[in-house]
Amino acid sequence: MVSAKTKVINPQGMHMRPAQVFVGEMGKFKCDVTLLCNGKTINAKSIMNLMAACIKQGCEIEIQCSGEQENEALARAVELVDSGLGDL
């Protein structure tokens, strides 16, 4: 398992569109992707769970990837969040 911490910077947070961008990209990797935020553990391949977690701008998150391609998945995940998920 590999993990990294970062911060959600896009204004909308994990609303429909940013969440869709994130989930869509993570679905391309075989490993499990999990987000830790506000004490919650969220399956980051599930748009429903990601949206229901209400992750907002400024939230500190930890991304964990575990399984095949975990390093590539983590790098891509951090890159997406740091670039604002198409919402900047």
Partner 1 sequence: MILQGIAASGGVGLGRAVCVREEKLDYSGVAYSGKESEKDRLQAALEEFEDRTDAMAKRIRERVGEKEAEILIGQITMLADPFMHSQMEEAIDNGSCAEAAVDAICTMYADMFAGVEDELMRQRATDVRDIRDRLLAVLLGVTGVDLSQLPAGSVLVARDLTPSMTVGLSRENIAGILTEVGGRTSHSAILARALELPAVLSVPKALDLIKDGDGLIVDGSEGKAILNPDESTRAGYLKRQQEFFARRAALEVYRDRATVDADGKVYHLYANIGSVAEAEAAAQSGAEGIGLFRTEFLFMNRTSLPDEGVQYEAYQAVSKIMAGKEVIIRTLDVGGDKAIEYLGMDKEDNPFLGHRAIRYCLDRPELYKVQLRALLRAGAGEKNIKIMLPLVTCVEEVRAARELLDQCKDELDAEGLPYDRDIKVGIMAETPSAALIADLLAKESDFFSIGTNDLTQYTMAVDRGNAKVEKLYKTFQPSVLRSIRNVIAAAKEAGIPVGMCGEAAADPCLAPLLMTWGLDEFSVSISSVLDTRANIHRWRGEKAKRVTQEAMGLSTAAGVEGYLSAAVSD
The contact set with partner 1 (CB under 8 A) reads 11-13, 15-16, 20, 23, 27, 43, 45-49, 51-52, 54, 56-58
The nearer residue to partner 1, 24 or 75, going by C-beta atoms, is: 24
CA 12 vs CA 3, 70, 78, 80, 85: distances in Å? 24, 27, 17, 14, 10
How far apart are CB 67 and partner 1 at their closest, in Å?
15
**How far is residue 63 CA from its own chain's centroid?**
6
Determine whether 36 is an active site residue: no
Question: Which is catalytic among the residues 4, 6, 9, 15?
Answer: 15
Residues sharing a CB contact under 8 Å with residue 83, sequence separation 6 or more, in sequence order: none
Active site residues: 15
